[in-house]
């Protein structure tokens, strides 16, 4: 149950702000339609920044905020579902760019649940005597896998990065990580498959035979039901392991997928919506980066203070879901 101390946070988003009106010029939609169904008003879309560049910018800000030098990092955990390269991994690129010296580097891909998976991993590494400081950075360039002719998905997804520098701490921490892989077809994006030189055909592994394009496919109804069912239960589970209940939490930061989902979770848990941090209206769904971006903003706004117990919950492709409780020390 020994937790972690947040030494610093950072975030980054592209400069290109895309409004609902901008999207209505590209596909059959409107500001009213998007706002009513998602709560999203604006999002940031890259016009050239890569996943690694956004990750590096967020990481540098977190390091500056923490006053920890990059050479004093013993581990870098990068979280992304949209890497720029098959290899090297994003963590090695970040290490190279921020000037770290031989840290452990590992990448995590658990889609929109990835930050909490990475946070749990960081906590486990920090139990090692040899590891004092860990950088975790989530960076997502979802625009490169978004079909802007599909109004059901293109209005949701956006680009951005969030980062934390963590050290050992004696506060409370609990995490619960799960998956529901029998619903794997509800949300996916295939890699771009080149032609097989031996058959001269596009490689098709048969898992999603009706979808060959490398775009996000989502069954919105299934994802809504999944998220609104699992989020309350897994938050309860993470709290229960610390002999807490969700009402004991000072703040809950959910994955910023859709305001309707956040509102439904609030109603199911009978917890006022004011206790849920929400910035989806400004950033859209930035996948794994959404929770650390929101956490960064909440800390900088003074809404998070020492002694607070923060609940965080993510849900996404896989289907994966995860929740944690972190005491701010």
Report the DSSP beta bridge partners of residue 314: 322
Strand (E) or helix (H) holding 110? none
Helices first, then strands: H and E counts in the chain:
10, 14
DSSP 177-191: EEE-GGGGGGEEEPP
CA angle 151, 155, 160 (to 5 degrees): 145
Alpha-carbon span 235 to 255, nearest angstrom: 12
Q: Contact at 8 Å (CB) between 165 and 7?
A: yes
58, two tokens: 């967020």
Instruction: Establish how many alpha carbons lie within 13 A of residue 183's alpha carbon, considering only the half-sphere containing its beta carbon.
Output: 21
Alpha-carbon span 134 to 132, nearest angstrom: 7
Question: 């649940």: which residue's tokens?
Answer: 113
Strand (E) or helix (H) holding 323? strand 320-327
Distances in Å between the Cα of 110 and the Cα atoms of 85, 314, 320 are 17, 10, 7
Q: At 4, is the secondary structure helix, strand, or coil?
A: strand
Alpha-carbon span 173 to 329, nearest angstrom: 11
304, two tokens: 């998070």
Which positions are catalytic?
A: 112, 255, 285
């Amino acid at each position: 149950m020994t937790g972690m101390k947040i030494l610093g946070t950072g975030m980054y988003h592209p400069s290109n702000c895309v409004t609902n009106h901008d999207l209505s010029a590209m596909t059959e939609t409107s500001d009213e339609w998007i706002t009513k169904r998602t709560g999203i008003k604006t999002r940031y879309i890259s016009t050239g920044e890569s996943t690694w560049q956004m990750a590096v910018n967020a990481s540098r800000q977190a390091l500056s905020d923490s006053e920890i030098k990059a050479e004093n990092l013993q581990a870098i955990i990068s979280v992304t579902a949209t890497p720029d390269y098959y290899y090297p991994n994003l963590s090695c690129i970040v290490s190279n760019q921020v000037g770290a010296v031989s840290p452990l580097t590992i990448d995590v891909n658990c889609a929109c649940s990835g930050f909490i998976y990475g946070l749990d991993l960081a906590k486990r590494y920090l139990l090692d005597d040899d590891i004092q400081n860990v950088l975790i950075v989530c960076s997502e360039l979802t625009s490169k896998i978004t079909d802007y002719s599909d109004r059901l998905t293109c209005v949701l997804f956006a680009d951005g990065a969030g980062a934390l520098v963590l050290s050992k701490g004696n506060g409370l921490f609990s995490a619960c990580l799960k998956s529901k892989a029998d619903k794997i077809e509800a949300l996916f994006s295939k890699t771009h498959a080149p032609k097989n030189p031996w058959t001269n055909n596009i490689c098709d592994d048969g898992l999603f035979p009706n979808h060959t394009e490398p775009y996000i496919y989502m069954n919105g109804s299934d994802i809504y039901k999944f998220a609104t069912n699992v989020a309350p239960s897994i938050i309860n589970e993470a709290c229960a392991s610390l002999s807490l209940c969700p009402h004991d939490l000072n703040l809950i930061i959910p994955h910023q997928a859709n305001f309707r989902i956040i509102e439904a979770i609030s109603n199911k848990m009978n917890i006022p919506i004011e206790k849920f941090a929400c910035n989806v209206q400004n950033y859209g769904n930035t996948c794994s980066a959404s929770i650390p971006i929101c956490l960064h903003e909440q800390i900088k706004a003074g809404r998070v203070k020492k002694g607070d117990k923060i609940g965080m919950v993510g849900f996404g492709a896989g289907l994966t879901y995860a929740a944690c409780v972190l005491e701010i020390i």
